[in-house]
Structure 1
Amino acid sequence: MKKIIPILLAIFIISCQGNAQKDQKKSQDKFEVTKSDKEWKAQLTDAEYRVLRKAATEPSFSSPLNDIKEPGTFVCAACGNELYKTKHKFMSGTGWPSFDRPIKGGVAYGTDSKLGYQRNEVHCARCGGHLGHVFDDGPRETTGKRHCINGVAMDFKPKKN
C-alpha cells in the first residue's frame, strides 16, 4: 500500500502536466498571429518579450507612453494590432498607461491567479500577447473600467492630419 500511493501520485502529476501543455497549445492556436518562442525572442526586445510572452510587469512610471495625450492609437508592440485610442486614456496615478475601454475586437480576456487571487488579464486579440489587467476602479462617468496596460507591450501611432 505504501508503494502504491507514490506511484499514483507520480501518474497524477504527469497526467496534469500533459493536459496543461495541451491547454496551452489550444490557447495559442486561437490567435491569428502565432510564432515559436524562438521567433518571438528574435523579434521582440528583452523587455517586450518578458511582458508580452511571459506575462511580466514593467516597473511603474517607467513607460514614456504614460505621458502621451496627443490623438492617436496604441497598438500591440508584437503584431501591430490596434488596442486603444488616446481619447479613452486617463491618468490613473498607478504608473501604467490606463484606458477605460479598448478598441472593439482589439483585446481578449483571460484570468490569472499568480498573486494568489484571480485577476482579469488582458491580451492582444491578434497574437495573444499579455498586455496587463482590467479592474473595476476606472472612471465612473464612463465605463468604470481601468485597463492597466504595460507600456512596453504597446507602440503609439499618432493620428495623421
Structure 2
Amino acid sequence: MAGDDFKVKKTDSQWRDQLTPEQYYVCREKGTERPGTGKYDQHFNAGEYHCVACGEKLFESESKFDAGCGWPSFDAPAESDNIKENADSSHGMIRTEVVCNSCGAHLGHLFPDGPTQTGMRYCINSVSIDFSPEEDGE
C-alpha cells in the first residue's frame, strides 16, 4: 500500500494500535478470514457498512445478498469513488482486489459472477467492515 495517495495515512504502529490482530492481518496485510466465520456473512439487517479502519461508507444493506460463498457479498458499492479496484495476481490467480479508497484497507475481491442485475459480487471480509443500523424513521 506504500506509495498510494490515500486520504487517511497512518504508520504501521498506529494501524496495529487501532485494529485487532485479525483486522490488521486482513486490512493491512491483505489476508482473508476463513469462510463462514465472519459476523456479517449471514447478516441482513437494514443499514450501512463502513470501513473498519477509517469509517468510510462502503456498502448499503440493499446491495447485500447471500452468495453462499462464506463471506458477505454485495452487488455494488454505496458510492463508486469510495472503493478502489486493483489487479491481484497473488496465489496463482488473476483477480480484482477491492480496497477502501480513503485508507487503502484491503476489503476483499470483486468477481463478475453476481446473480443480480449488476452481475458483480463484491466478496468482502467481515473483519474489514463495521455495520451501522438504519435508524427508525428513515
Q: What's the TM-score, normalizing by structure 2?
A: 0.94
The answer to whether the aligner puts 1:129 opposite 2:108 as a matched pair is no
Is 1:25–2:5 an aligned residue pair?
no
Counterpart in the other structure of 1:57:
32
**Which residue of the other structure, out of 61, 68, 83, is the alignment partner of 1:107?**
83
SS at match of 1:111: strand
Runs ≥4 residues deviating over 4 A: none
Which residue in the other structure is 2:44 paired with? 69
Give the 3-state SS of the residue equivalent to 2:3 in structure 1: helix
**Structure with the largest fraction of strand:** 2
> Which segments of 5 or more consecutive residues in structure 2 lack a partner in the other structure?
none
Shift, 1:81, TM fit: 0.4
Q: Quick check: which one's helix share is greater? A: 1
Shift of 1:117: 2.6
* Structure 1 gap segments, 5+ residues each: 1-23
Provide Cα deviations, 1:118-151, integer angstroms capped at 9, x if missing partner: 2100000110000000001101x41000000000
CA distance in 2, matches of 1:93, 1:117: 21
SS at match of 1:84: strand
Task: Please give the per-residue CA displacement for 1:79-129, whole angstroms capped at 9, x wherever unaligned.
Answer: 000000010000000000000000112211101111113210000011000
Query: Superposition RMSD on alpha carbons, in Å?
Result: 1.0
Pairing 1:70-85 to 2, within 5 Å after superposition: 70-85=45-60
How many residues get paired?
135
Identity of aligned residues (%): 41
Q: Secondary structure at the match of 1:67?
A: coil
Which has the bigger relative contact order, CA under 8 A and spacing at least 6?
A: 2
- More off after superposition, 39-48 vs 116-125: 116-125
Amino acid in structure 1 at the alignment position of 2:44? K
Deviation at 1:49, TM superposition (A): 0.1
TM-score by length of 1: 0.81
CA drift at 1:67: 1.9
Deviation at 1:25, TM superposition (A): 3.2
Q: Give the greater-gyration-radius structure (CA).
A: 1
**What secondary structure, in the 3-state scheme, does the structure 1 residue paired with 2:90 have?**
coil
Q: Which residue of 2 aligns with 1:118?
A: 94
Q: Which residue of structure 2 lines up, in the alignment, with residue 9 of structure 1? A: none
Instruction: Identify the match of residue 90 of structure 1 among 50, 65, 70.
Output: 65
